[in-house]
Structure formats: structure tokens, C-alpha cells
Amino acid sequence: MLAVDLRNLTKRFGSVTAVNDLSLQIDSGEIVAFLGPNGAGKTTTIDMLLGLTRPDAGSVRVYGSTPDDAIARGEVSAVMQNGGLLKDFTVGETVAYTASLYAHARPVSEVLERAGIGEIADRRVGKCSGGEQQRLRFAMALLSDPRLLILDEPTTGMDVEGRREFWGAIREDAERGRTVMFATHYLDEADAYADRIVLIRQGVVVADGTTAEIKNLASGRVVRATLPGADEASLRALAGVTNVERRGDTVLVQCLDSDIVARHLLTTTAARDLEISSKNLEAAFVALTADTAAESNGATR
């Protein structure tokens, strides 16, 4: 059964299209990173997924029901970026209050323990650090033992140690088979904690695959050579070649194994001025998520 089924979602704010005809399906049990730069439409998409915002077009289904219904039955819960806590409740009271709102909830002590804040249950929320507050939001999200957990940039503003501890708790929890979708603009978080990465830019999914596939997208190399009248077909036939492009006398070959391409070019063709460059995940991310102007600049130089 699909945990998340977004079809042709569109959301506009005035003249700005935040999310543009976006479709996304997530299977039960997947851990998906929703990766994109600030303003890419991640939070707007998540708000629609949670029923906080109504889409202008398209449909949202969470485990087969509407977001409101899924929330009412505790099937989905979320950890939002910031805010949303009362300073004069203690940590334990905040969780107990939230627990009382559900038809079924895990014991307060259990979720505090799992979020790693069992020892600060009596502390006022106002006296908690940002990382502790975030783990409190995580504890609240665990109460209904949701089938789908959504995290919207959960580690924004946390220090390195806080991030490490937070993700430790999430990872431990995800091993129990929960579906997790998290938005982030940190590549390393997506790489370290997700099975699947969905890259979003300007409200559109620009890449979607397993972490390995997204890395492949990036881990390939580009062989560039001067070769007038290059035979594209024979280059494409080489093992591991993913794309061939001619720009005047220059040919660019994107490939997984640059050795094969280089050997071919140097031994069987008149290619000269050979250059081999590699891409990394960072570069793929920048290329895939940069705005169009930056992209065309990259193409000409």
C-alpha cells in the first residue's frame, strides 16, 4: 500500500508557483529524503501532505485517506521546523497533553525514552535547548506510533552534536519499519539516512531514485575531446556511456568508466586534447537544483 500518493499537486501564492504539477508516490517502509534548496517547494508540499495547506489542483492521499483523516487516526505525524511549543509546560506535560488527544497513544515515558529526553521530563520547555526541543517534537510525533513520520528540515539550527544525536534517534526508530519522509537541504543527511532521494527544484521533481542511483547520476565522469566529425553512434555503443554531446569540434562523453572511453578515443579515433573530469554528489545537486540561468552559464563555460 502506498504511504504517500501525491498526484499533480499545484500550489500558487499570488504570482509565485510554489509547487508545480508535482507527483510523488512513497511505498510503505521507505525512508525518503526530500532534497532541495530553500524555496524549492519542500515545505509547501509537506504542508499539503499534512492538510495544513489546500492545493490549488491535484490530490493528496496518505495511506489511502485524506490528510485530516490520517492525522485524526494517528497514521501520520510530523516534526516541523520550529515553533509550536508552549514554554510554560514541562517536557513531560507537553507529551502528556498531546497523548491525551489521541484515541490510542504509546506511554509518555516510552516516547520520551525513545527520543532520548527521558531524563529532562520535568524541565520547562522554555529552558530546553533547540536540540532538546526538537527531540521533544520528535517524542510527540512518536505518540500515535504513526505509520508515516514526516520531518521538515528537522535539524535546522542544531549544532553538529545535536544533529548527530537527533539522527541517531530517528535511525533507531526507522529500523522498526516506519515510513519516513524528511525534507532537508543538507546533502550529507540525505545521503546518510535515506534509501531514496527525491530532488526538487522550483516546485518540480528533477530527480528521483535510490541514493545509489542519485549518486551515480553524480559519480559519472565527463570525457571531453576535440574530434571533428565524431561518430556519436559508436561512442554511445561503448560500455558505461550515458550520454554523448557534440559542440562544434568538441565532443563530450558522459560515462561511468572513463578509461574505456579514453582508450577508445585515443586508439581508434583522431581525438586530441583529451580532458577527464569527475562529478560528485554536491555537483549533481548544484546542477540539478540550480536555477535555469546558472545552468545555462554552466553549459557555455
Partner 1 sequence: MTVAARETPAHAQPHTRLVPRLGGFNLTALRLEVRRVLRNRRTVMFILVFPSVFFFMFSATARGGKQAASPEALAYIMISMAVYGAMVGTTSGGAAVAVERSLGWSRQLRLTPLRPAAYVAIKVLTAMTLGFIAVAAEFAVGAVAGVHMAPHVWLLSGLAAWLCSLVFAAFGLFMGFLLPSENVMQFVGPLLAVLAMFGGLFIPLSALSPTMRSVASFSPVWGVGQLARAPLMGDFSSTAVVSVVVWTLLFGAGAMALFRRDTARV
Q: Which residues of the shown chain bind partner 1 in the complex (CB under 8 A)?
A: 50-54, 63, 69, 71-75, 77-78, 80, 82-89, 93, 96-98, 100-104, 106-107, 110, 113-114, 137, 140-141, 144-147, 176-178
Closest CB to partner 1 among residues 161, 175: 175
Mutual angle of helices 130-142 and 91-100, in 10-degree steps:
20
Closest contact distance (angstroms) between CB of 27 and partner 1 is 14
Site of grid cell 578515443 = 265
Point out which residues pair with 76 in neighbouring strands.
148
* DSSP H/E element including 19: strand 16-27
Contacts of residue 288, defined as CB under 8 A and 6 or more positions apart, other chains included, come to 199, 201, 206, 207, 217
Would you say how long the chain is, in residues?
A: 301
Closest contact distance (angstroms) between CB of 65 and partner 1 is 10
Closest CB to partner 1 among residues 12, 215: 12
Closest CB to partner 1 among residues 102, 257: 102
Beta 221-226 vs 204-210: how paired, if at all? unpaired
Closest CB to partner 1 among residues 3, 225: 3
Closest contact distance (angstroms) between CB of 94 and partner 1 is 9
Closest contact distance (angstroms) between CB of 74 and partner 1 is 6
Distance CA 10, CA 19 (A): 5
**Cβ atoms 139, 115 nearer than 8 A:** yes
Closest contact distance (angstroms) between CB of 147 and partner 1 is 4
**Cβ atoms 115, 142 nearer than 8 A:** yes
Closest CB to partner 1 among residues 26, 251: 26
Closest CB to partner 1 among residues 140, 199: 140
Distance CA 43, CA 199 (A): 13
Q: Angle CA(177)–CA(47)–CA(25) in degrees, nearest 5?
A: 50
Closest contact distance (angstroms) between CB of 123 and partner 1 is 14
